[in-house]
Structure 1
Amino acid sequence: MGKSIGKAATRPATPPKPDIDAAIAARIRSLRDARDLSIEALAEKSAVSRSMISLIERGETSPTAVLLEKLAAALGTTLAGLFEPQGEPGGPVARKADQPLWRDPASGYVRRNVSPAGAPVQIVEVSFPAGAEVAYETTRPKRIHHQVWVLAGAIEVTVGSETHRLVAGDCLAFVLDRPTRYRNRTRQSARYAVVIAEG
């Protein structure tokens, strides 16, 4: 029996998944460097404090979705773009095990970047808890098209001053040129996909 226990103990452990906060930090630094922006310049463009950006880039805090959206807009990318891996695009298949999962510390919603890195259209799957709400105030100078397809449950999406109640199977298309708010007024979690295309 002792030998069996010894053998089990020596089995190689499953490699840990990369720290998502560290990956986001590296991505923000990389985009900022590519645009030749100092932390001060990014702070001014994004309305996020210099100290907060510094903490995020060092991986010392878990930023909210609202903060990340402000940084993404200032860096000329989408929120989904902050979760793309660095380097050259990979192959045509993004395996589920490799798709990054991230939880918003403010609302508790969980997002999964589904698309392969570098794909011209991005697909994100979101699990949205009961009672959750996320409001994005940023707008974009270039056209970014969104489609929100509800897979389960019900949510409200407010684009500018117009509110749309969506249930499973409904799909809403809009351009990201006005403040946008997502809300789950129900007692059950919802799940939806966001399809994002620039141009």
Structure 2
Amino acid sequence: MGVERGRERTKDLVTGAQVLSGQLGKTIQRLRKAYNLSLSELAEQSGVAKSIISQIERNETNPTLATIWRLSQALDVSIERVLATGDEEPFIEKSSRADTPILVSDDGRMRLAIIGWIKTVEWLQWYDLSADPGGVLDSDAHQRGSVECLSVTEGEFEVDVAGAVQRARAGETLRYRCDRPHTVRCISEGAGRAFMVVIMKAAVME
């Protein structure tokens, strides 16, 4: 009975992958961009050929279940979420801690949990940022006109945008252009916590 159920579940997932191939490509691409991964980097992490990933994102192929599994593992999401369709998603969606990707700064002292909706990643991103004292997050310039908002809930942070420096404590928010290199530092003696929202292409600011 267990074997039969396993076969039925596999059959359902394979059928779902074929039916949802159009949505699948968009989902893989959004997840990849959320992690700031190039096609080559995702190929290296997943073991799936770069050309295959490119075809999947352009909806030019129906990937096998094994391929989808490798990509979901590399992108740190469940295979069910990868196969989920936008048309049939529930109005209320819950993401578990295990399904929340975590980005870590180069110094290992800042962690950004990606709590934003994956479907908005190309124009709106938001993160739950936690930092150890002295943690530094260096970021390259985003798209022109992009704005970043840092709302501090614990500790104190400093933001440096092209030499312009401003600080914020718990209860305060910094908004700044992020279409140029910028740095966020935790300057409090204890741990720091903040919510970071990035509005991509918000406006072309002269």
| Equivalent in the alignment of 1:127 | 130
| Equivalent in the alignment of 1:167 | 169
CA deviation vs aligned residue, 1:21-79 (integer Å, no higher than 9, x gap): xx99x82699745xxxxx5xxxxxxxxxxxxx5xx75239xxxxxxxxxxxxxxxxxxx
Q: What are the equivalent positions in structure 2 for 1:48-87 lying under 5 Å apart? A: 53=41, 57-59=43-45
Residues 191 and 31 of structure 1: is their aligned pair in 2 closer, same or farther, counting only changes over 3 Å?
closer
In the alignment of these two chains, the number of paired residues is: 134
Q: What are the equivalent positions in structure 2 for 1:89-104 lying under 5 Å apart? A: 93-97=93-97, 98-104=99-105
Residues 57 and 129 of structure 1: is their aligned pair in 2 closer, same or farther, counting only changes over 3 Å?
farther
For 1:177 and 1:105, the matched residues in 2 are separated by 20
Q: Secondary structure at the match of 1:58?
A: helix
- For residue 150 of structure 1, the aligned residue among 149, 152, 156 is 152
| Equivalent in the alignment of 2:11 | none
1:112 maps onto 2:117 in alignment: no
For 1:86 and 1:143, the matched residues in 2 are separated by 31
Q: Secondary structure at the match of 1:143?
A: coil
Residues 133 and 105 of structure 1: is their aligned pair in 2 closer, same or farther, counting only changes over 3 Å?
closer
Q: Secondary structure at the match of 2:45?
A: coil
Residues 152 and 141 of structure 1: is their aligned pair in 2 closer, same or farther, counting only changes over 3 Å?
closer
For 2:90 and 2:149, the matched residues in 1 are separated by 25
In the superposition, the TM-score normalised over structure 2's length comes to 0.53
The residue identity in structure 2 corresponding to 1:112 is A
Residues 158 and 91 of structure 1: is their aligned pair in 2 closer, same or farther, counting only changes over 3 Å?
farther
Shift of 1:148: 0.6
The structure where helix makes up a greater share of residues is 2
| Equivalent in the alignment of 1:189 | 191
For 1:31 and 1:106, the matched residues in 2 are separated by 19
CA deviation vs aligned residue, 1:96-141 (integer Å, no higher than 9, x gap): 43322333352321111112220353220100111111222x2244
Say if 1:143 and 1:175, in contact at 8 Å, map to a contact too: yes
For 1:30 and 1:145, the matched residues in 2 are separated by 18
Say if 1:83 and 1:113, in contact at 8 Å, map to a contact too: no
Say if 1:113 and 1:123, in contact at 8 Å, map to a contact too: yes
Q: Secondary structure at the match of 1:187?
A: coil
Say if 1:102 and 1:111, in contact at 8 Å, map to a contact too: yes
% identical aligned pairs:
17
Shift of 1:191: 0.3
CA deviation vs aligned residue, 1:149-189 (integer Å, no higher than 9, x gap): 00111011111111111100111111212221111222211
Output the aligned Cα RMSD.
3.5
Residues 131 and 86 of structure 1: is their aligned pair in 2 closer, same or farther, counting only changes over 3 Å?
same
Unaligned 5+ segments in structure 1 are: 1-22, 34-38, 40-52, 61-81
Residues 30 and 197 of structure 1: is their aligned pair in 2 closer, same or farther, counting only changes over 3 Å?
closer
